[in-house]
Chains A and B, each alone.
Chain A
């Protein structure tokens, strides 16, 4: 556990990291971002907390069970969204043209419309949930390993 200054600053900073990560996830369909990148940004915040507090402290709030549920749910949402279009083909983008994320962007340079992409933004969100849970579990497990502990079973 590091000093009180570091812990306080980390506590404040995590909010900004979270917002930035969510921004990257939400703009995945029009910028070079997406579920994995945004999730990785959020997990960098988790790593910061891991350094500021110890892995034992963090283990109390980041439960392995919760992470496991989050990860499976994220992956399941992704697969269900892919299954939604199976009437025509797997991964078929059913939402294009509908009121939900349904705008069709013009070809060529454009100002960028976030309300596009059909199921892609939703899939990005699902991947984001999965990556946040999965990578946090990985860094937490490695940190606990190196301090000689086991992840709870």
Chain B
């Protein structure tokens, strides 16, 4: 029974990804859509960090570390890289959305659309 709490982060990650898919598919507001993508990124990052966790583990820094197991550092490095990339993606998305709003005067993905067919 003591292993069940360890699965909570994975459930939370799945929940975050699921909710963000719901937001991206059903919310027409472009800003909300971007929020959905940011949430999905957090969900995937949470999943990655949770992968490397060991019960009672220390942070993987050797400077004055107490004795005991350490958590896996690689997923944390991956998460950091992924966070950096997502910063760039979100900044670019927000910039483009501002431009879309200036051109069309609307933030609705249906009303601001010019390309179809």
Contact = CB atoms under 8 A, between A and B. Distances in A.
Whether A and B touch directly in their complex, counting CB atoms under 8 A apart, is answered as: yes
Interface of A: 30-32, 36, 105, 108-112, 135, 138, 141-142, 145-146
Contacts of A36: 80, 84
A31 B94 contact: no
B2 interface: no
B95 interface: yes
A32 B84 contact: no
Interface stretch (B4-12, B29-37, B59-67): B59-67
Contacts, number: 36
Interface residues of B, number: 16
B91 A138 contact: yes
Contacts of B94: 142
Given A109-B67, A111-B63, 15 more contacts: A32-B59, A32-B61, A32-B76, A36-B80, A36-B84, A109-B63, A109-B66, A110-B62, A111-B64, A112-B62, A135-B87, A138-B91, A141-B95, A142-B91, A145-B95
20 contacts: A30-B62, A30-B63, A31-B61, A31-B63, A32-B61, A32-B76, A36-B80, A105-B62, A109-B62, A109-B63, A109-B64, A109-B65, A110-B63, A112-B63, A135-B87, A138-B91, A142-B91, A142-B94, A142-B98, A145-B98
Interface string B48-90: 0000000000010111111100000000100010001001000
Contacts of A32: 59, 61, 76
Nearest to A40: B87
A119 B63 CA distance: 19
Nearest to A27: B63
Contacts of B84: 36
Contacts of B65: 109
Given A142-B91, A142-B98, A108 B61 contact: no
B95 A108 contact: no
Nearest to B67: A109
Contacts of B76: 32
